[in-house]
Amino acid sequence: MGFVRSLDLAIRAALATLISGSALLGSLGIVLVLSLTGGVALSAYAAELLNAIGITVPPSVWPVVWTTVSVGGLAWFGRATGNAIRAERAALLERTTPVSRASLEEATVIDSAVIRLARQVDIPKPAVRIHSTSVPLAYTTYRSDDPIIRTGHCGTPVVVLSRGILINLSRSEMTAVLAHELAHIANDDHRLFTGVLLPLVAAETIIEDEGYPSSVTDVCASLLVFIASIGVGVFSRGRELAADRGAVTMTGDPVALATALEKLDGTGPDKPTTDLRKYARSTNAINILPSFDTASTASGLRSTHPSLETRLDHILSLSAERTESRR
């Protein structure tokens, strides 16, 4: 069962693919130019060295060398990008423990809610883990050893709730948050999101200096990061509203989701720990609310989430629809 069937989301997905695809092509172009330049320089040095010892290499050999070096550069780039995504996934599961290690009451409430919600949307029950941070976080990710780009049902989603979520929310509010996460899974958002996120990770992989760009390559890669982050934002904002709709559909309780969002948005000045801030790129886009002071929480086209006001208005409209349908 999926909730995403709207024309708006289809348009957003197509637009995000176009934007992110252009950033990925740009990144591949940069790597290809760098690799080819390195291959040409290597061949010039090798030719000079071989000529010095009396060995003449046929000119037809060098294009083969250039091609080999270019292919090797692209292969390295693909591997580095994949490793970066796996490192993010691993970081998102650090400091988490299985829900079975929580208190008996918490484990029972969470487990029964997840089983019931998963049956409603006809998906396998996902694993649930508890993060030790007091920062309110709720997101779904995959294990680092799962395929980067999933096909079919490869990989098992892992829903992460932070200790801050358990402390701040009532049972009905926590159920609404879990419903939001399972709506994402039912809509296959996380598999699709990996494809949209990949160009952003790829562009960031090229940057040598994470601070001020120190070379032409860094400047170009930073521009591609900016473009790719727009694609991520366009895609993510629509899916968040769709997951909110799915949560209301599953729980039948729009008030619980609205109050959960309001509580999580106003839980104080606490900020995530350093290890999570390093991975803000993906966490902001998959967390129920953005939690980081980074570019990925910027307003406008790069924002990964609709504003709280927009989401509350959307939930209010869903509540009105439910009331109207009962008449």
Catalytic sites, residue numbers: 181
What are 137's two structure tokens? 């976080």
What is d(CA 67, CA 142) in angstroms, rounded to the nearest whole number?
A: 35
Radius of gyration of the chain (CA): 23
